[in-house]
Amino acid sequence: MRFQVKVVMFDLDGTLLDTAPQIAEAANRMLVALGKPMLSQAQITTYIGEGVQNLTKRCLVGSMHDEPDAQEFARAQPLYHNFYEANATDSQAFAGVLPALQQLKKQGYRLACVTNKPEKFTLPLLQHAGLADFFEIVVSGDTLPKKKPDPLPLLHICQKLGTLPAEAVLVGDSETDIQAAHAAGCFVVTVPYGYNQGRAIDVATVDATVQQLTEVVNLLELPALFSGDNEKMIQIS
């Protein structure tokens, strides 16, 4: 059975916008306020992608999986939110994002944004970057009971737009995006310039990879790739 892609969903952090500098600045201001040593932007960038709570925990303990002191974590959360709210909209779009969205919209694709970032940060970021009007639906990390890598946000978007998961593709930068797309039954395309906790994407697990988002436009015109029976990852370089 063959399907035609109708919906293109985009991750936010590390895919549409380079948010790492502002996230790192807010996290370090939080750490200083708590009397803790600052971390490098490179280290903090590896903590991005699984929501603000996980980011905050990882910054407090300096690792991916350890748990911070409960009282310290309770103090840290509002500090991070306040500091990040002050600088979040300084983030810039990656090269190729705006022309890619313009062309996809012109060609009739329905666009959505799906992120684990809280809505109070997501919407101002998209608006300030001039991207908000491209998306028919935006699903943030606190929109639904579950977030990526759970498939619920992707399935919710498909249901709202009246499309099958097999008619949708998620463009992201991380294993979190890949897992969500696989679980939902959507196609998945990745970019190599994102965060992914500092690890390289396993290209064998995705349908395609592109160097920047303008390449997605031509990629969607390849009938063999998004046919429901492709078996090979395509790399556009």
Is residue 11 annotated as a catalytic residue, yes or no?
Answer: yes
CA distances from 96 to 17, 212, 216 (A): 11, 6, 10
CA-based nearest residue to 167, from 181, 147, 180: 181
Enumerate long-range contacts of 40-43, CB under 8 Å, 24 or more apart. 42/198
> Which three-class secondary structure state does DSSP give residue 21?
helix
CA 25 to CA 44: how far, in whole Å? Answer: 9
Tell me whether residue 97 is exposed, middle or buried, using C-beta atoms within 10 angstroms of its C-beta: 0 to 12, 13 to 18, 19 or more.
buried
Q: Which residues participate in catalysis according to the annotation?
A: 11
